[in-house]
Amino acid sequence: MTPTFPLLIDGRLRPGADGASEDVINPATEESLGHVAHAAPADLDEALEAARRGLEEWRAVPPWTRGAILKQAAANLCADIEQIARTLTLEQGKPLAEARAEVIRSAEFLEWGGEQARRVCGRSMMGRDPGQRAEVETLPIGVVAAFTPWNFPMALAAKKFAGALGAGCAIICKPSEETPGSVLALAQALLDAGVPKAAIGIVFGIPSEISRYLIASPIVSKITFTGSIPVGKLLAAQAGSLMKPVTMELGGHAPTIICGDVDPEQAADLLARAKFANGGQICLSPTRFFVERNIAERFTARFAEQALAWRVGNGLETGSQMGPLLNNRRLQAITSLVDDALARGAVVRAGGKRLGDRGYFYAPTVLDTVPADARILHEEPFGPIAPILPFDDEEDMLRQANGLEFGLSAYVFSHDVRRRERLKDRLQFGTVGINDVPTHPPEIPLGGWKESGYGTEGGIEILEPYQKTRFVSTRH
């Protein structure tokens, strides 16, 4: 059977060697979009050998030319934005407007990586002795194994492609089997722009088996992963046993502090948009809402009003503001978190239930009176749930905000400059939004603190995770 979503190895789209595949499900209809091919060990060996050859070919391309190719790939994406956005919506569920925005952001990452590729340079200096010269060379680290998730399947892959290819590396990417089409489109845009066919591989399969095989290969020099903390730890341990460097962007559970001096309705309007974007399936999503008690009821009432008015539906339908969750596992996980909170005494102010019986739709949900031992306050929810936590004591609130292993993002809403600076300095997170919930633009380096990962992606540093340096001393 010819898979709808094949492997991409050495420039060829093809099924896996043993013919294995799995269904790709439209989360809005629960209907099959086709089959995604699974890679057998023989396929992975072929992808690795191609990447070894692709590395030698691509690293020889002058950085200026590499930059031009990446910028052309960005243009290719934008030229095909409507078809790619539709693919994204069909396989991931997000509304078309959000899918278009993701394609544009993916293009921006490729363009940014292309610009930074043109700045690759070394440095030279006089040595300590007459006739001695010291040089520092900047080189591509080698073949990169990239593992990317399903919530922003194209954009989160584009970050890695932009950095790795900009640095002169070859890359083998294993995207989520649930959202294969958008990453295949990304790879095709790069190949059409002129990246050597052997320098890019796309493989699918059983995640633990693919990752173990690629990480163990002596051809792979670098691991990059975006996903959950438990899986990140597992991959980091496998890579660490072979002394292979890793970049990890892992989970978040963002405390969002709303101080009593802000307009609670205005803050609720902004935060509802941020919370329900992509169905709450965003690592940077605000997830724990600490609201100063003097405005807590007004904030909660307005947030609930927004949740009840939010239009949930098929992402292809005009007017849909939020699509379905990705799969039945997410639906069951969200249902379990809400049921647990209610059993412990939480109160539903909006939502709290599945919508319909077809598609993985869950109502935008606001919970009040959430007890401290509720699972939702300790486990990353990754869904459209907003637990409201009134506070009186700032120190106690900060202990709760910083009290988890997560350190990806946090948010502060206040008009008091001194207070928000004090809170910002106390928060143990790699990203802090002040009166804002930012996304990740390519010009900014983003990374997590604590167990939310290490290393950054983006910024003027976008190539650095994929580079190595060499010191050359010459005596004349």
Q: Token pair for residue 70?
A: 């990446």
State pLDDT tens for residues 154-165.
999 999 999 999
Query: C-alpha distances in angstroms, 441 versus 76, 104, 152, 387, 398?
Result: 19, 11, 13, 27, 28
- 249 given a catalytic annotation: yes
Residue 390's nearest CA partner among 288, 302, 280 is: 288
Backbone angles phi, psi at 92, to 5 degrees: -110, -30
Q: Is residue 136 part of a domain?
A: yes
Q: Residue 476's pLDDT is what?
A: 85
Matching residue, tokens 């010291």: 134
212 & 262 share domain: no
d(CA 407, CA 430): 6
204 & 90 share domain: yes
- 57 given a catalytic annotation: no
Q: Is residue 18 part of a domain?
A: yes
207 & 339 share domain: no
Q: Is residue 1 part of a domain?
A: no
d(CA 234, CA 232): 5
422 & 364 share domain: yes
Catalytically annotated residue among 249, 380, 457, 464: 249
Total domains present in the chain? 2
70 & 216 share domain: yes
178 & 277 share domain: no
Beta-strand runs (E) in 365-457: 365-368, 385-391, 409-413, 431-434, 453-454
Q: Residue 441's pLDDT is what?
A: 94
80 & 115 share domain: yes
Q: Is residue 446 part of a domain?
A: no
459 & 399 share domain: no
Query: C-alpha distances in angstroms, 188 versus 2, 4, 8, 15, 79?
Result: 19, 15, 9, 17, 13
Q: Residue 1's pLDDT is what?
A: 62
d(CA 115, CA 64): 9
- In terms of residue numbers, what domain contains 268? 254-441
Residues paired with residue 426 on neighbouring β-strands, in sequence order: none
Give pLDDT < 50 ranges for the chain: none
CB distance 310 to 322 below 8 Å: yes
Q: Is residue 182 part of a domain?
A: yes
Residue 117 corresponds to which amino acid?
A
Which CATH number belongs to the domain containing residue 222 in this structure? 3.40.605.10
12 & 54 share domain: yes
Q: Is residue 110 part of a domain?
A: yes
128 & 237 share domain: yes
Percent of the chain, pLDDT > 90? 97
Which CATH number belongs to the domain containing residue 328 in this structure? 3.40.309.10
Contacts of 42 (CB under 8 A, 6+ apart): 17
Catalytically annotated residue among 91, 283, 292, 380: 283
220 & 341 share domain: no
For 141-180, letters b (16+ CB in 10 Å) and e give bbbbbbbbbbbbbbbbbbbbbbbbbbbbbbbbbbbbbbbb
242 & 327 share domain: no
> Cα dihedral angle (66, 68, 73, 75), rounded to 10 degrees?
170
Q: Is residue 203 part of a domain?
A: yes
> Cα dihedral angle (102, 103, 108, 109), rounded to 10 degrees?
70
Q: Residue 137's pLDDT is what?
A: 94
Q: Token pair for residue 342?
A: 């209610």
d(CA 407, CA 13): 39
d(CA 182, CA 77): 11
Q: Residue 3's pLDDT is what?
A: 85
